[in-house]
Amino acid sequence: MIEKIKNNKLLMQILKFGIVGGTAFIVDYGIFTILSQFLNIHYLIASIISFSISVIYNYILSIKWVFDVSKKQTTKEFAIFVILSVIGLGLNSLIMYISVDLLNIHEMISKILATAIVMVYNFITRKIFIEK
């Protein structure tokens, strides 16, 4: 069974992406919790900061371990990554705003929801635009 998974490139990639995404979520959610719950920073600002830090973490691991990307990153590939990340940040912030301010869902639960949706967006867009 494990050998079958190792031989399936897409399945291995999804598994690796899940590991990277899971650890990036811990970074994101941990920083968000500290900023919003302990330092009383507004949830949207805390979310933007934590998301941005986790994107950098995610980028480094994704490029080095998950996706088949040439060893030499081009300016174009990095620019695409930044654009996709800014869109992901906007999507994350929009979901946070809608769920917290309009639907009255607690910000800690909203962060989990937003992260899950943006994680799917990240995998699909990185697969399409970054990996050749």
DSSP 24-86: HHHHHHHHHHIIIIIS---HHHHHHHHHHHHHHHHHHHIIIIIS---SS--HHHHHHHHHHHH
Predicted confidence at residue 81, as pLDDT, reads: 81
Per-residue pLDDT band at 92 (split at 50, 70, 90): very high
Predicted confidence at residue 118, as pLDDT, reads: 92
Predicted confidence at residue 123, as pLDDT, reads: 79
Note the pTM of the prediction, 2 decimals: 0.79
> Higher model confidence: residue 54 or residue 82?
54
- Split into its structural domains, the chain has a count of 1
Predicted confidence at residue 69, as pLDDT, reads: 61
Predicted confidence at residue 31, as pLDDT, reads: 98
What's the domain range around 8? 2-129
Which has the closest alpha carbon to 63: 50, 47, 74, 48? 74
Whether the pLDDT of residue 17 is over 90: the answer is no
Q: What is the pLDDT of residues 21-45, one digit of tens each?
A: 889 999 999 999 999 999 999 999 9
> Between the CA of residue 31 and those of 24, 95, 97, 124, what are the distances in Å?
11, 18, 18, 25
Which has the closest alpha carbon to 97: 56, 53, 51, 42? 42
Predicted confidence at residue 6, as pLDDT, reads: 62
Looking at residue 66, its amino acid is V
Which has the closest alpha carbon to 122: 49, 44, 50, 63? 63
* Residue indicated by tokens 């650890």: 23
Q: What is the pLDDT of residues 40-69, one digit of tens each?
A: 999 999 999 999 999 889 888 877 777 666
State the maximum Cα–Cα separation within the chain, in Å, rounded to a whole number.
48
> Higher model confidence: residue 45 or residue 78?
45
Do the beta carbons of residue 92 and residue 29 sit within 8 Å? no
